[in-house]
Structure 1
């Protein structure tokens, strides 16, 4: 069920999801739109590294790896059920949204290390505002806004003094 914008309707939630062939940036925008609250971000901040840690440990020490793997997934799914009230983006494309999850986690850690807190600046998540206006939004939390903010400002043109 593709449309002109390169999106399709989600089988589970009935909302627009980027096509499988869509650029990664659009998939990240969708992923961010599914993770707008602080509680869901915190659950993923804990759950994603737990899953990443557990994967190799399962092969060496299954008694440790399997419970950590299951608990890490449970924390993330509970975040969706209890706080965000949506289904995990993983249901729309397992491998793609696993990679989105890792990128999202890296963004969150960078925000925390940079002193911006979960989701960027302040209490209201700028990512949620950008995601609410669509995957190509250029709101304050979008990648385009971050790129613009990182660019050096041009010096204003100097006018000769009057007189």
Structure 2
């Protein structure tokens, strides 16, 4: 993973380093509701969550711990609607944002990248990583091979 992500916080290539023995991957669907798995999820060393799925109010079913939150470029505006909830709480959540180059460009033309720069200004301790163009191309290739569709 270290060669495929870079940190927005430093605007340079900074590898993401995690030490996880057992991970929980919690999707943003409602499939977990009513399952009471929150305590089990929180016992794992790393908890990965998707997009803007909330935990507050759903702790019994989905837990409250978030180590990494993987966010699609299309969900970044949803995070921004609740900036205090996602970025303002004192936590160690790492955000991994992925999206096509047109949205992640660093030359002032990348709409999502510009949004993330503003988040970093508002919340200097936030840890945001974005995928590299190389990694996005690889993921697009795998997606097309597995589904037969272009993203």
Query: Structures share a fold, TM > 0.5?
Result: no
TM-score using structure 1 length: 0.27
Structure with the higher fraction of residues in strand conformation: 2
Bigger proportion of residues as helix: 1
TM-score (ref. length: structure 2): 0.29
